[in-house]
Amino acid sequence: MNALNLDTNDKATWLASLRSGEFEQAKGFLRVQGSEKDGSNDEFCCLGLFCEILAPERWCNVEHAAAGDSVLYTTTDYDEYNGEFPSTAEGEPEGDMYDMMGLDCDSCAILMGMNDGTKYEPSPDADPPEEELVTVDGIQYLKSKRPHTFSEIADYIEVNL
């Protein structure tokens, strides 16, 4: 798999940030607002952390987001749903964010899957053996589709992108 145009300096900064232990990992959103009141930090998914590194000024509702709310990221696309320009991204990259990051849609989809995992849905027809399941934060996943840590994601990026 080839990334579109991942800058080597940006990649190095991203890998260092993913491995630093300084950032909390979010699932399902690019960024989740922390709280000064309880001392919780903002959380980022692996791609949201890269957006924070590349262009932090594009987070657009930081001042108004309550603790636990997702934070929106500005793109240059037209928002057809709301009839606004520019649009915003919340759970995954959109529009010019791919070019900004130097990643293609497939690479981003793989990284989102690694970050969030795919929840296991029991099937009456074909349940896997118990040793194929793992529980993370009270949710069951197939071992091959579990959420990965930032460090594991960094290892994947370093070798594959």
Q: What is the pLDDT of residue 83?
A: 58
Question: How is the chain split into domains, by residue range?
Answer: 8-116
Contact residues for 137 (Cβ-Cβ < 8 A; gap 6+):
none
Q: The tokens of 134 are what?
A: 């793992």
73 within 8 A of 58, measured Cβ to Cβ: yes
Q: Is the pLDDT of residue 124 over 90?
A: no
Using one digit for the tens of pLDDT, what is the confidence trace for 10-43?
Answer: 999 999 999 999 999 999 999 999 877 677 789 9
Q: What is the pLDDT of residue 1?
A: 42
Q: Determine how many CB atoms are found less than 10 A away from the CB of residue 26.
A: 22
Q: What whole-number distance in Å separates Cα of residue 88 and Cα of residue 44?
A: 16
Give percent above pLDDT 70 in the chain.
88
Using one digit for the tens of pLDDT, what is the confidence trace for 97-110?
Answer: 888 999 998 899 89
Q: What is the pLDDT of residue 73?
A: 85
